[in-house]
């Protein structure tokens, strides 16, 4: 039998599309079962498989059961060869038949779950400890709960003075910015921040501040902004006074109303906001191009006489800008968003009330509740029972795992890697992923942590996470599944070229993409030519009087007919 884990207990499979990921996962699963079947025929009860969509759960289960079926019947010699280095074929057949029968009669302990359903099972088990409603419902729709919470918040208008004042000022602030006075749509958009993992720490900070506190903060921001604006206006007025005192019109300078004279006037009205790049102003300061060739010589002489004074004012303004512009911009940004930010905690409070009264919570909160325990306890009590049960872990689609989800799983995995199972062996863990297929960013998925393995985000700031990271590093082994068994050579070559181009194109701007797409080249199977690929760009000239969808449908039909005439079957064609 292939010893898949060798001397490492934590395997990371980097598996691109068509590289046999599910095959290798099922093989590793059965490797564990067969290796220890004579000692514990219920070994499958100690194995936990985790993936993302329900479809992937069914695929993982089906593949394991299919392999058991084929092995028990001895019908697949190639598959059998993966398990016969130590066990004889007859032993494999017997073990496979017995294991298949056991799983069928004990299916509830065949543990393969979506990551959300796994954490939900945990929460229901420990609802009392976490002070959650025992029969709580999970809601997947972001908008549904958020709309209810915002409606509850706005219904308090006129009843709670501080809240009413904040909501009214929020509406006026939007109108000042030429936006619609209604705030519910904006709050719905910004309110979704409460579901994001990266917002957890910020929401904890917001709890410390009341609406009255935010009112004081806004006043302080206004004072700081006005102070900066007033200084710029005052200094710019000095330049305007110098110009006018010398009987020079403000538009007498190079490029008239776009020139430095009118630029100073603009600063007297708009303050720091008006300081920006102006090539005509810079031409006057740096190239001494103060007037046009057609300017009256007397005016030109006057302008050159005051030029040193104007340069001094300009330099003072630029020095002030360098010192305070960033602060000014930050203060303005905070001021513009402070009403919605001040209401985020109020929205969270309404959601918490709904959780208790209606026993409903958003699915993203499961990760947050578990994280409150696992990141502060060396051996979290929430995992005590599970820690005794699961010793082997398989995580599929790891590129879609969020940082919080991974850190919530780490206690289980690090405990298994430290615990003896049979004759000096420890538990095992294997993760499978492909950075090119990351699609769950909208749910907090962070593909970068797959690239960082065995390093763990936040380990440098958290002793417990650091200890778990060290355990992963001790047992780490990386496996590249580099052969594409699914696609023809031409398609594999295109994918290789595309991602290498993407990688090199981002070399200067995005080191994350440059490193992430390293070593992703796949090899096709030998003698597997004959594929094809069609890329089309669509311009307005292509569309003419057709709609976009109609044109795409017609173009696809033309390509399919051409492929049929070339001898391809429908099953050979994919439209992406």
DSSP state of 136: P
Task: Give me the pLDDT at residue 3, please.
Answer: 55
pLDDT given at position 5: 62
Is this model's pTM higher than 0.75 or not? no
Tell how strand 137-139 and strand 112-114 pair up.
Answer: unpaired
The H or E element containing residue 47 is strand 47-51
315: confidence class by pLDDT, cuts 50, 70, 90 = very high
Q: Does the structure show a pLDDT above 70 at 410? A: yes
Indicate the average pLDDT of the chain.
87
Residue 507: per-residue pLDDT: 66
What does the block give as tokens for 471?
Answer: 């355990």
pLDDT tens column, 154-197: 899 888 898 898 888 888 888 877 777 778 888 888 888 888 87
Q: Is the pLDDT of residue 394 over 70?
A: yes
Q: Contact, 283 vs 300, CB < 8 A?
A: no
pLDDT of residue 188: 85
pLDDT, tens digit, 9 for 90 and up, residues 427-465: 999 999 988 887 766 667 788 889 889 999 888 988 888
User: 244 to each of 61, 251, 261, 265, how far by Cα in Å?
Assistant: 84, 11, 10, 11
pLDDT of residue 270: 94
**552-561 burial by CB neighbour count: b if 16+ within 10 A, else e?**
beeeeeeeee
Task: Determine the pLDDT at residue 2.
Answer: 46
* Confidence band for 227, pLDDT divided at 50, 70 and 90: very high
Q: Report pLDDT for 406.
A: 92
Q: What is the mean pLDDT of residues 226-233?
A: 96
pLDDT, residue 454, reads 93
Q: Residues 192, 194, 200, 206: is their CA dihedral positive or negative?
A: positive
- Report DSSP state, residue 138: E
When mean pLDDT is compared across 34-48, 320-334, 543-557, the lowest value belongs to 543-557
Q: Is the pLDDT reported for residue 139 higher than 80?
A: no
Q: For residue 75, what pLDDT band results from cuts at 50, 70 and 90?
A: confident
Write the pLDDT tens digit of every residue in 286-309.
Answer: 999 999 888 899 999 999 999 999
Taking alpha carbons only, the member of 409, 345, 322 closest to residue 374 is 409
Residue 415: Cβ within 10 Å count: 22
- List, for residues 106-132, the tens digit of each pLDDT value: 999 999 999 888 888 877 777 777 777
Which backbone phi and psi does 371 adopt, to 5 degrees?
-65, -30
Q: Residue 571: how many CB atoms within 10 A of its CB?
A: 6
Q: Express as a percent the part of the chain with pLDDT over 70.
A: 94
Over 70: is that where the pLDDT of 423 sits? yes
Q: Give the whole-number percent of the chain exceeding pLDDT 90.
A: 41
């Amino acid at each position: 039998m292939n010893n898949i884990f060798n001397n490492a207990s934590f395997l990371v499979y980097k598996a691109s599309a068509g590289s046999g990921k599910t095959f290798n996962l099922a093989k590793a699963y059965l490797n564990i079962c067969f290796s220890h079947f004579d000692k514990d025929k219920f070994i499958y009860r100690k194995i936990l498989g985790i993936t993302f969509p329900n479809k992937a759960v069914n695929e993982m289960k089906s593949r394991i059961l299919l392999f058991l079926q084929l092995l028990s019947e001895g019908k697949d010699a190639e598959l059998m060869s993966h398990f016969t280095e130590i066990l004889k074929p007859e032993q494999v057949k017997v073990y496979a038949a017995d294991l298949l029968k056991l799983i069928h009669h004990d299916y509830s302990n065949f543990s393969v779950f979506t990551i959300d359903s796994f954490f939900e099972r945990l929460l229901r088990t420990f609802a009392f400890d976490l002070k959650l409603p025992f029969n709580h419902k999970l809601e997947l729709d972001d908008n549904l709960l958020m709309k209810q919470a915002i409606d509850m918040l706005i219904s308090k208008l006129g009843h709670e003075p501080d809240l009413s004042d904040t909501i009214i000022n929020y509406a006026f602030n939007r109108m000042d910015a030429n936006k619609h006075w209604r705030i519910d749509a904006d709050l719905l958009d910004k309110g979704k921040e409460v579901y994001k993992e990266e917002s957890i720490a910020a929401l904890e900070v917001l709890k410390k501040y009341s609406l009255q506190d935010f009112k004081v903060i806004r006043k302080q921001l206004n004072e700081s902004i006005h102070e900066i604006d007033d200084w710029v206006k005052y200094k710019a007025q000095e330049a305007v006074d110098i110009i006018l005192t010398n009987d020079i019109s403000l538009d007498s300078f190079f490029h008239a109303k776009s020139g430095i004279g009118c630029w100073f006037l603009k600063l007297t009205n708009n303050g720091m906001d008006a300081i920006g790049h102006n090539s005509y102003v810079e031409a006057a300061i740096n190239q001494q191009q103060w007037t046009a060739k057609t300017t009256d010589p007397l005016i030109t002489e006057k302008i050159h006489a005051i030029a040193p004074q104007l340069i001094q004012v300009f330099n003072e303004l630029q020095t002030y800008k360098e010192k305070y512009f960033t602060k000014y911009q930050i203060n303005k940004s905070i001021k513009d968003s402070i009403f919605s930010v001040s209401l985020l905690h109020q929205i969270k409070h309404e959601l918490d009330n709904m959780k208790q009264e209606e026993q409903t919570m958003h699915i993203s909160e499961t990760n947050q509740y578990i994280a409150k325990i696992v990141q502060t306890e060396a051996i979290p009590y929430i995992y005590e029972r599970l820690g005794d049960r699961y010793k082997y872990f398989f995580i599929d689609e790891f590129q879609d795992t969020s940082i919080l989800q991974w850190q919530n799983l780490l206690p289980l995995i690090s405990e298994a890697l430290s615990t003896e199972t049979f004759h000096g062996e420890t538990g095992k863990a294997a993760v499978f992923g492909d950075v090119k297929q990351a699609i769950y960013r909208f749910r907090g998925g962070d593909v970068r942590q797959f690239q960082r393995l065995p390093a763990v985000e936040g380990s440098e700031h958290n002793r417990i996470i650091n200890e778990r990271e060290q355990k992963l590093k001790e047992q780490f082994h990386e496996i590249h599944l580099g052969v594409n068994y699914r696609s023809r050579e031409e398609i594999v070559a295109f994918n290789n070229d595309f991602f290498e181009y993407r990688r090199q194109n981002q070399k200067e701007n995005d080191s994350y993409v440059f490193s992430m797409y390293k070593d992703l080249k796949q090899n096709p199977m030998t003698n597997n030519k004959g594929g094809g690929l069609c890329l089309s760009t669509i311009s307005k000239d292509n569309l003419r009087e057709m709609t976009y969808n109609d044109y795409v449908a017609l173009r696809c039909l033309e390509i399919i007919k051409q492929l049929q005439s070339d001898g391809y079957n429908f099953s050979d064609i994919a439209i992406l």
